[in-house]
A and B are shown apart, each in its own frame.
Chain A
């Protein structure tokens, strides 16, 4: 008899496997865990009506300000003026970053281009070598031959 027909006969009326006893408990626990989550962790459709209305109103306001006639710019300027005093330390930080960038640019001009390309090539070769070693180690030490079919 052909294998196809035989398989069809064997499969017909085959009993189902019993689900593990733990499945029902797992589903119940997960449902309880999801029910206990605060509303802002759930989907938008499950938010309280007030929160949904507020969210839509805020989004609408942002869109209005963005496309409004200069209103957004005015709001940002007002906010940045208000925040300028407590954020004075940012000037120092910006100055430090600028200095570091200038030093880097100076070094780039001083160091010959061949050194830079050589360094980049060496880095790439080292990266490839480490990657190959770790792949070989994974295949030799971790991947089991019996799981070959599952790990495609």
Chain B
């Protein structure tokens, strides 16, 4: 249990940012630790345990999202395109003042960023989180998501464009 307490926040945070909802993230985190239990003899003393858990959490979440997307695609594909429209307008690189969110402490900033990420369409959120939080390259993200490099770049650019007004509104509201 000490092992789990040491890593549960990291595993849950990874899954929650990608998933965009806490209930699903808790299911993923549970599955990650059940798998870790099967390899506990190796992981217990391994310095790479954190990396292993993060990778499993990321892969399980992406698998879950892919299955979910396939299941609902039939009825909701049109809805997706409607959801894309606001962010499609924000394709250019924004210039923003350095002082934005400067008044917030780390915890408030985390809440604000997580809240804004949840409001993004799934494909933009996943690409942004993999790029900025998991620090994967564009090519690695394209390989992981089985999409083209161009789509990853577009999703990240549009995601940033859509995220900024949400953060600015939240930051100004709080500051």
What residues of chain A have their CB less than 8 Å away from a CB belonging to chain B? 1-4, 6-8, 10-11, 13-20, 22-24, 26-28, 30-31, 34, 135, 138-139, 143, 145, 148-152
Question: Is B100 interfacial (CB 8 A cutoff)?
Answer: yes
Which residues of B lie under 8 Å from residue A16 when comparing CB positions?
9-10, 12-13
Would A11 and B132 be within 8 Å (CB), given that A23-B12, A143-B76 are in contact? Answer: yes
Which residues of B lie under 8 Å from residue A23 when comparing CB positions?
8, 12, 26, 29-30, 33
Would A18 and B106 be within 8 Å (CB), given that A27-B4, A30-B34 are in contact? Answer: no
- The answer to whether A14 touches B5 (Cβ under 8 A) is no
B69 → chain A closest CB, angstroms = 5
- The answer to whether A26 touches B26 (Cβ under 8 A) is yes
Which residues of A lie under 8 Å from residue B72 when comparing CB positions?
151-152
Query: What's the count of A-B pairs with C-beta under 8 Å?
Result: 124
15 contacts between A and B (CB under 8 A): A1-B95, A3-B93, A3-B94, A10-B109, A11-B113, A19-B8, A19-B26, A24-B5, A31-B34, A34-B34, A138-B75, A148-B79, A148-B121, A152-B69, A152-B83
Which residues of B lie under 8 Å from residue A20 when comparing CB positions?
12, 22, 26
- The answer to whether B114 touches A17 (Cβ under 8 A) is yes
Q: How many residues of B contact A (CB 8 A)?
A: 57
- The answer to whether A17 touches B121 (Cβ under 8 A) is no
Question: Is B52 interfacial (CB 8 A cutoff)?
Answer: no
Which residues of B lie under 8 Å from residue A34 when comparing CB positions?
34
Select from chain B the residue with minimum beta-carbon distance to A4: B160
Question: Is B51 interfacial (CB 8 A cutoff)?
Answer: no
B175 → chain A closest CB, angstroms = 14
- The answer to whether B109 touches A14 (Cβ under 8 A) is yes
Question: Is B63 interfacial (CB 8 A cutoff)?
Answer: no
Assembly CA distance A1 to B96 (angstroms): 5
Assembly CA distance A90 to B26 (angstroms): 53
- B26 CB contact (under 8 Å) in A2, A22, A145: A22
